[in-house]
Structure 1
Amino acid sequence: MTFSKESEQVALQYLQTVVVIDDGLLLGVEDASGEAEVVDPVDPLEVDPAEGEGETKTQGSAGQDLDGAPDDLLRGEQLIRGFAEKGLVCGLLKPSSGQELEDIKSGQYQRLFARADVMVLDWSLARDEGATTRKLILDLVGKSEERVKRLRLICIYTNSPNLASIQESIALDLRADGINSFVGGEMERDWFVQGGDFRIAILGKTGVSRLPHFSEAEVPEGELPSRIVTEFTRLAHGLMPALALNSLAILRDNAPMLLQRFNGNLDPAFVSHELLTGQGRRFAVQLISREIQSILEAADAGSVLSHQNVKAWAATKLEAVSSDELEVKMGNSRRKFKKLDVLTAISQEEFSLQTFRELKTTDGLKLGAAKLASLSSLFSPDPDALDSDEQLGLLSCLSRDLHGRYDGTRMPTLQLGSIVAQREQDSSGEVRYWLCLQALCDSERVTGPRGFPLIPLRPASNGAEFDFLIMDHSGVRVQLSGSSRPFEMKVVEFSPEQGDDVIRATRRDGELVFQDCGHGSWYWVAELRPEHALRVSHQMASQISRIGLDESEWLRLSGNNKKS
């Protein structure tokens, strides 16, 4: 199976719900073939057509039928069956009156729309030239704090002859709302608007005369379910997105097992633990996160990142490069290779790092044992390659930071792995970074002033080695090196707020701040992942436990204990 097909399978496993809004839906009436099509009346998402459908009425106030019959019709039963064959639940909404159209615009169905994976919208509802649909799009993907953030596909399924004008209208609306997005076009023959967590595909209903460059966007009604899966795959295309989607789908499928593991029989033991320690919440969250990891490992969530898929992705990227030469960045220097040689090496069954080291550069040299930290520059130009490396670096060393996109109201606490910033009050505005090494057990059950050990973190000079990567308060990435010298460590006293037993940050002028007992301010920046924090703690402990001896200089320099 190719990676593209495997990606579609992952998308199909993840997708669950589709909502279609179209005033041309046929529900419980004769379809175009003349046969009766009846929708199950207990469908909770169905909106029944108004009585007397088929007669031409003038548009009126709430409760009156919309003006005229729509020019395009969709057979609701066929859509439901088509999506059901894909394993997807499809809900249909047909605004048949002015009141029903107003209900859609006013947010009566907001919870339904927010939870749908896919929204299929007619562009011109009641011939309003896109007014309702444009408002719905902004409600779903706009910057409103009330919107539910999720990976979302919106398909505009329309009989409009000009798909480009619809794309332009949507892009302008999003730009006016401050939302970054990019668009397809005539060259790609793919009409869409896409942002970080959404894709809006503009698809044409058949039977309409359009220019040739719209042909690939025309989708027969019976093929709409398959095309929607393809469009969703394009939204989450790539190796890492496939991993994330596959993991989420596995967790959905294994939810019953997770509930069985965390059953009510555990409540007495948990309550006992909480009453005795006062720290049951952290303990329980750690348990469930480890159980989730076990589920993903047992189900082989990483199967989408197989060596075969990785090599296929690499080969596809390299084949798209127009140049016959490729560059690998190594520190401040670059090595050039022939593209054909790299493609040949990657296609080998037993490709490894050593295979690459044996390749000759365009100068006829081999890499040999030279330090090779990244191959990203083969697949992306600067600065995109560095950006990709830094993003993965941030993800691997930080569990939480100022710019994290996960919603949450719980304030950070000062503990092992907390990175904080101290700012000079003078005009220099110098920022100094510190890492907290307080053990987790000593960071909790704090009843009064308590000292917290902090070690300095220094920004690394260009090209120098560093330990961590963070994003400062302005969003600039900073490479930091930690100190393992015990004499550079300082102990600062902090005291918990009344009613709390941890040192918790408070929000001040939009920033998260810890205040020490001397009224000094320490600005929270990030939280290291536990393994990274423990590594630094171990390095410091090793330095503290060094044994110093008074011995003969000749023995120190000549014996087995001589320093390298």
Structure 2
Amino acid sequence: MTFEEQCNSAAANFLQTAVLVDDQAEFGVSAPLAPASEGDEFIEPDELAGAVAAISQPAQAIRDRLDAGAITQGFAEKGLICSVLKPKSSASITVEVLRLAPKSDIIVLDWQMGSVDNGDIALGLIHNVLEMDRRGGGRLRLFAIYTGVRDLTAVSTRISEELPSLTSSTNQFEFYNAYATAKVVVLGKGIPADHEAGQGDRCTEEDGLAERLISEFARFSGGILRNATLASMGHLRSNTHRLLARLNGDLDGPVVTHFALLNNSADAQQYIADLILQEIEAQVPLEEIVAKYAGPDSIKKRIKQLFADGGRSRIVLDSENATMHDLPEASAMALVDGSVEALKLHIEDFAEALGKKAKDIAGQFGPDSLPRRLYGVLGDDLPDGVRKHEDFAIASTIRLTNVEAQNFRDRKHPTIRLGSIIHDADGYHICLTPVCDSVRLDGDKAQFLFGRLGEDEKKFNVIVDDGGVRKRLLIDRKNVFVKTLELIPSADHTVRVERKLFDYLVPVYSPDGTKEFVRWVAEMKPMQAQRVVGSVTSNLSRIGLDEFEWLRQLGVNWSG
């Protein structure tokens, strides 16, 4: 299985639903050629003013009728459900599509609906769904314009003009949003002869549409981590009944007992939330899925795909001058099994590129240097490679950030607890107060312990995205600066972050009764936060004493 096939497999496991909108959809009808002037009783669009520009002259359509039966059958064969909507007015179809959109992974739209439409309805629907997704915090979604218009370039041109939030890739018939979570593709109905010369690879007949859309979805959603994630979510979707069988209605009584005995609704709710998460984890065979989609074989397939697509793998020789050197495919793949040995084979080439002797640089390619040399392993230049590695570091250690403010629309604002990162006049600080001491707070103030995080570009152990600005931070366990802040508990007996205009703020107690604030920046994942505390406390609890030097040097280190 190639990497592309792995992407298709993961996408197929995840995808479940699609909605198709076409005013010429018919069941059991082949797709005859029809002149563009043959319109039906479609009510012309009148509800999308402001979403797109005024209606322009329609492009010439060669193939109008759509065999809805062949399409739904094709989706069924791939294990997907496809709803076919035949609109009678722009207003009604907008309501129906927006109602279905939250549960639809793929939205397929005809370009011309009615005799004078030139994509205005389709553009309006894409605009409205993207806006709905944006307000909801984002959504992985594929839009497909499936049209009988002969010249598909006319369609892609209007999309680029009317939807400025989308940018075109190297392929003029594919568009993406800023976060690469939404993709719009232009596909032609029928066979290559139905469209202009050179557009044959964009053509798909009805019975092959499902397979083509799965492939299009996989091409923008695929990746080592995304494949594993999509496969995991797909497995969970397919096995939700197992989860519900374990957490069934017979357990309602014990839940009531738990609330009654604990006498603390917040703690009881957290217990239920933790229980559900643990059951979800138990139902997903993560080890097997990761081995299949993110194991060493998959990583090598990803590198092989890079070279097959004309890309190259590069190693950083001199980070100050951004000097990089190409690696052959075999060496790039060998990095997965042992990077030091793979690079030793090219010391002579590296020396020549740097204008030095091999013996002078051989020691510079040891294990300690590798983290700064692998930024271009998948073809990235130095700045992009550094940024992507920082992105992974943030994903690995940070649970919530103020950049993800839109995620708090459907959930409570975070509370101050172990791992919370704040910023005040003294800089960045991380909360060291245990979780158990961050709840059930009584009184008008509560003391929280914080350790300072210094900003350091070269020496750091935490990376955060503070309002879109990347920060490298260091908590120096051997030189810890700690301070106590008196914070104001909220009505739920926790210190909850508040929203003030564009900032998320933490209320600080002031003796004169005024309400002061410090900025909330992020919250670390629990295990990473616990490691910070362990590092700090272990250093503070060290014992220094004089001893027999022979025993000190030859004996086993007390700290392990």
* Distance change in 2, residues 1:180/1:478 (3 Å): farther
1:472 aligned partner: 466
Matched AA of 1:371: S
* 1:20 is aligned to 2:20: yes
| In 2, Cα distance between equivalents of 1:32 and 1:472 | 54
| Structure 2 equivalent of residue 419 of structure 1 | 421
SS at match of 2:198: helix
Q: Which amino acid aligns with 1:7?
A: C
Question: Does 2:505 align with 1:513?
Answer: yes
Aligned residues: 508
C-alpha separation in 2, matches of 1:309 and 1:23: 43
Q: Secondary structure at the match of 2:342?
A: helix
**How many Å separate the matches in 1 of 2:308 and 2:67?**
43
Q: What pairs up with 1:17-56 in 2 under 5 angstroms?
A: 17-27=17-27, 31=30
The counterpart of 2:487, out of the listed 494, 514, 517, is 494
Cα gap change, 1:125/1:184 in structure 2, threshold over 3 Å: closer, same or farther?
farther
CA distance in 2, matches of 1:543, 1:84: 61
Measured in 2, the distance between the counterparts of 1:442 and 1:238 equals 41
Deviation at 1:193, TM superposition (A): 1.3
Is 1:132 the equivalent of 2:121?
yes
**Structure 1: distance between partners of 2:258 and 2:226:** 38
Q: Which amino acid aligns with 1:219?
A: T
Deviation at 1:515, TM superposition (A): 1.4
DSSP-derived class of the 2:222 partner: coil
1:75-106 per-residue CA deviation (whole Å, 9 max, x = no partner) reads: 122221111111111211122x4xx443113x
2:526 maps to which of 530, 533, 551: 530
Equivalence for 2:338: 352
Q: Which of 280, 283, 297 is residue 295 of structure 1 equivalent to? A: 283
Query: 2 CA distance for matches of 1:129 and 1:472?
Result: 43
Question: Normalized per residue, which structure has more helix?
Answer: 2
The answer on whether the counterparts of 2:146 and 2:186 sit within 8 Å (CA) in structure 1 is yes
User: What whole-Å deviation, never above 9, does each CA across 1:21-69 have from its counterpart, x for those lacking one?
Assistant: 11211236x5469xxxxxxxxxxxxxxxxxxxxx98777799xxxxxx9
Change (3 A) 1:248 1:113: same
Within 5 A, what are the aligned runs for 1:45-84? Answer: 72-84=64-76
Q: Is 1:447 aligned to 2:436, yes or no?
A: no
Could you list the per-position Cα deviations for residues 197-236 of structure 1 after superposition, in whole angstroms to 9, with x for gaps in the alignment?
Answer: 1111111123655332211111122221211111111121
Aligned to 1:198: 182
Give the AA of the match of 1:137: I
Higher relative contact order (CA 8 A, sep 6+): 2
SS class of match (1:120): strand
Q: TM-score, normalised by structure 2?
A: 0.82
Q: Structure 1's 410 and 140: CA in aligned 2 closer, same or farther, altered over 3 A?
A: same
Q: Which moved more, 1:248-257 or 1:296-305?
A: 296-305
Q: Are the aligned partners of 1:434 and 1:457 in contact in 2 as well (CA < 8 Å)?
A: yes
- Per-residue deviation, residues 259-317 of structure 1 (Å, max 9, x unmatched): 12222333333333334152112222222223323333456221211211201212332
Question: Is 1:267 the equivalent of 2:257?
Answer: no
8 Å contact kept, 1:413–1:504? yes
Any idea what SS the aligned residue of 1:386 has?
Answer: helix
* Alignment match, 2:205: 220
Q: CA 1:439/1:259 → structure 2, altered by over 3 Å: closer, same or farther?
A: same
Whether contact under 8 Å (1:330, 1:371) holds in the other structure is no
User: What is the rounded CA distance, in whole Å, between the counterparts of 2:320 and 2:307 in structure 1?
Assistant: 23
Q: Which amino acid aligns with 1:372?
A: L
- Give, in angstroms, the shift of residue 441 of structure 1: 0.7
- 2:271 equivalent in structure 1: 283
Cα distance in structure 2, aligned partners of 1:561 and 1:300: 46
* Corresponding residue of 1:428: none
**Identical columns (%):** 26
Partner of 1:140, secondary structure, is helix
2:108: which partner in 1?
120
Of 141-150 and 410-419, more deviation after overlay is shown by 141-150
After superposition, the C-alpha distances for 1:154-179 in whole angstroms (9 at most, x for unaligned) are 1111111221221121122221xxx2
Q: State the TM-score, normalizing by the size of structure 1.
A: 0.82
* Structure 1 residue runs without a partner (length 5+): 34-54, 63-68, 424-430
Contact 1:357 / 1:369 at 8 angstroms: preserved in 2? no
Once structures 1 and 2 are overlaid, which stretch shifts more, 284-293 or 377-386?
A: 284-293
In the superposition, relative to structure 1, how do residues 168 and 334 fare at CA in structure 2: closer, same or farther (>3 Å)? closer
Which residue identity does 2:215 align to in structure 1?
A: T
Aligned residue number for residue 381 of structure 2? 381
Tell me the alpha carbon deviations over residues 449-486 of structure 1, each in whole angstroms, 9 at most, x when there is no partner.
321111111101x32x211001123x110000013358
2:337 is paired with a residue whose SS is coil
Indicate if the aligned counterparts of 1:376 and 1:386 stay in contact, CA closer than 8 A: yes
Amino acid of the structure 2 residue aligned with 1:535: R
In structure 1, the residue corresponding to 2:142 is in which secondary structure? strand
**Contact preservation (8 Å) 1:505, 1:512:** yes
1-side partners of 2:470 and 2:194: how far apart?
A: 51
Report the Cα distance in structure 1 between the residues aligned to 2:245 and 2:15, rounded to whole angstroms: 24
Alignment partner of 1:252 is 2:230: no
Contact 1:452/1:491 (CA < 8 Å) preserved in 2? Answer: yes
Q: Classify 1:533/1:158 alpha carbon distance in 2 versus 1 (closer, same or farther; 3 Å).
A: same
User: 2:323 and 2:42 mapped to 1: Cα distance?
Assistant: 70
In the TM superposition, what are the counterparts of 1:331-410 in structure 2 within 5 Å?
Answer: 332=320, 339-340=327-328, 343-347=329-333, 351-361=337-347, 362=349, 363=351, 364=358, 366=362, 367-373=365-371, 375-379=374-378, 380-404=380-404, 406-407=407-408, 408-410=410-412
Query: For residue 544 of structure 1, what is the amino acid of its counterpart?
Result: L
SS at match of 1:312: helix
8 Å Cα contact 1:171-1:183 kept in structure 2: no
1:136: Cα distance to partner? 0.6
